[in-house]
């Protein structure tokens, strides 16, 4: 089996009095997509910049395919592609000229440059902006350009700092598809993001950073395993209950705060009936409105859930949807102690 392609060993980075990254260790194998998440100021960008060789760590090691970034910077840096979270500076160049400049800096053979730039422009969905000036690109388009630049020399290790920021929903989906393709091609990708729910779609591993420390890491399934052993169930009735503003509804212990509920449209008859029946169930822990429907934690077995459904229907609740509800990453992190995720 191939060894790690990227290793961070006890990495520490200080800025004057601030310790931005504290003894952080992680390893990526080819085909690993490692999602680094955490609140503002957790140290994600600093970790990525130190891994890219743009910041000198206070101590600790970065190895790329076994090359020590400090001792063998030339060999190590050739294997890295880095997408920073800020825009490119060369505003007077066209997209093509900008990429050509970097292709030559990466020492791509002259005859390979044109075809490779075209490939990268296509992979980053920038075909229409081929001859546009960099300075005139929107934020999302600049983000795509940075991604195209990162792909140019086909590096085995990619470091992406908030690559989805500035992308519209279609752009995010395209990015996700591209990351899946890169993962399948065996790239090792370290990616930071605030968009937790989307990370679980393509990450093979996740790490949660808080105040410079990696406080949790593992596969998405490992992190999901940190949750209480209850599964979530999603129920929608023909006439939904309160839920017109579900995402803004404050919840205490799984139950919406009374004052918030009063400010919403009253629940339908079905909604009230469903809630009353669920509250009487011993295997139901928390009940939350979600997208016009209801989600609750269920501690019983699947057979008991089938019985519950039968009871609800027999009690006259017009149920049109009753299914397991996938736990998203945001929920995992919020419930496992990381408080300030944005």
Neighbours of 290 (CB within 10 A): 18
Total residues at the site for ligand ATP (CB under 6 A)?
11
* In the complex, minimum distance from the CB of residue 186 to ligand ATP, in angstroms, rounded to a whole number: 27
DSSP of 45-81? HHHHHHHTTSS--SEEEEEETTEETTTSHHHHHTTEE
Instruction: In whole angstroms, give the CA distance from residue 125 to residue 171.
Output: 9
Q: Which is nearer to ligand ATP, 43 or 243 (CB)?
A: 43
Q: Which is nearer to ligand ATP, 16 or 111 (CB)?
A: 16
22, 44, 63, 183: which one contacts ligand ATP (CB under 6 A)?
44
6, 11, 33, 42: which one contacts ligand ATP (CB under 6 A)?
42
Q: Which is nearer to ligand ATP, 198 or 275 (CB)?
A: 198
43, 60, 163, 246: which one contacts ligand ATP (CB under 6 A)?
43
Q: Does 46 bind ligand ATP (CB under 6 A)?
A: yes
Instruction: Report the site for ligand ATP in 52-81 (rule: CB under 6 A).
Output: none
Instruction: In whole angstroms, give the CA distance from residue 306 to residue 310.
Output: 6
Neighbours of 212 (CB within 10 A): 22
Instruction: Report the site for ligand ATP in 12-41 (rule: CB under 6 A).
Output: 15, 18, 20, 38, 40-41
**What tokens were used for 45?**
């960008």
Neighbours of 49 (CB within 10 A): 20
* In the complex, minimum distance from the CB of residue 41 to ligand ATP, in angstroms, rounded to a whole number: 4
Q: Which is nearer to ligand ATP, 44 or 273 (CB)?
A: 44
* In the complex, minimum distance from the CB of residue 19 to ligand ATP, in angstroms, rounded to a whole number: 8
* In the complex, minimum distance from the CB of residue 208 to ligand ATP, in angstroms, rounded to a whole number: 11
Q: Does 294 bind ligand ATP (CB under 6 A)?
A: no
Q: Which is nearer to ligand ATP, 42 or 179 (CB)?
A: 42
**What tokens were used for 51?**
């891994």
* In the complex, minimum distance from the CB of residue 54 to ligand ATP, in angstroms, rounded to a whole number: 11
Instruction: In whole angstroms, give the CA distance from residue 231 to residue 82.
Output: 39
Q: Which is nearer to ligand ATP, 17 or 282 (CB)?
A: 17
Beta strands, E only, the chain: 6-15, 18-28, 33-37, 59-64, 67-68, 80-83, 157-161, 188-192, 205-210, 213-218, 231-237, 251-252, 255-256, 284-290, 293-298, 319-324
* In the complex, minimum distance from the CB of residue 91 to ligand ATP, in angstroms, rounded to a whole number: 23
**What tokens were used for 317?**
């609740």
Neighbours of 235 (CB within 10 A): 24
* In the complex, minimum distance from the CB of residue 25 to ligand ATP, in angstroms, rounded to a whole number: 17
Instruction: Report the site for ligand ATP in 126-165 (rule: CB under 6 A).
Output: none
Neighbours of 114 (CB within 10 A): 13
Closest CA to 194 of 87, 329, 84: 329
Q: Which is nearer to ligand ATP, 40 or 262 (CB)?
A: 40
24, 30, 37, 45: which one contacts ligand ATP (CB under 6 A)?
45
Applying CB under 6 A, the residues found at the interface with ligand ATP are: 15, 18, 20, 38, 40-46
């Amino acid at each position: 089996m191939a060894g790690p392609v990227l290793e961070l060993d006890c990495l520490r980075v200080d800025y004057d009095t601030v310790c931005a990254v504290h003894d952080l260790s992680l390893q990526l194998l080819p085909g690993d997509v490692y999602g680094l998440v955490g609140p503002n100021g957790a140290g994600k960008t600093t970790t990525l910049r130190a891994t890219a060789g743009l910041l000198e760590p206070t101590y600790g090691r970065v190895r790329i395919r076994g090359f020590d970034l400090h001792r063998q910077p030339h060999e190590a840096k050739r294997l890295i592609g880095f997408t920073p979270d800020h825009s490119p500076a060369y505003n007077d160049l066209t997209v093509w000229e900008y990429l050509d400049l970097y292709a030559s800096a990466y020492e791509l053979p002259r005859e390979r440059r044109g075809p490779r730039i075209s490939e990268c422009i296509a992979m980053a969905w920038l075909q229409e902006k081929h001859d546009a000036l960099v300075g005139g690109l929107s934020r999302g388009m600049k983000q795509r350009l940075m991604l195209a630049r990162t792909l140019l020399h086909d590096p085995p290790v990619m470091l992406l700092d908030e690559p989805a920021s500035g992308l519209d929903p279609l752009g995010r989906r395209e990015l996700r598809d591209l990351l899946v393709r890169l993962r399948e091609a065996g790239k090792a990708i370290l990616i930071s993001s605030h968009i937790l729910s989307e990370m679980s779609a393509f990450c093979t591993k996740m790490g949660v950073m808080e105040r410079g420390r990696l406080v949790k890491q593992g596969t998405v399934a490992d992190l999901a395993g940190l949750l209480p052993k209850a599964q979530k169930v999603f129920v929608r009735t023909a006439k939904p209950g309160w839920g017109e503003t579900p995402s803004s509804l404050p919840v205490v212990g799984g139950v919406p705060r009374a004052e918030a509920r009063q400010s919403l449209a009253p629940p339908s008859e079905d909604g009230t009936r469903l809630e009353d029946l669920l509250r009487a169930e011993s295997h139901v822990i928390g009940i939350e409105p979600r997208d016009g429907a209801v989600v609750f934690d269920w501690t019983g077995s699947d057979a008991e859930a089938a019985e519950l459904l039968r009871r609800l229907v027999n009690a006259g609740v017009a149920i049109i949807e009753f299914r397991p509800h996938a736990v998203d990453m945001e929920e995992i992190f919020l419930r496992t102690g990381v408080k300030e995720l944005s």
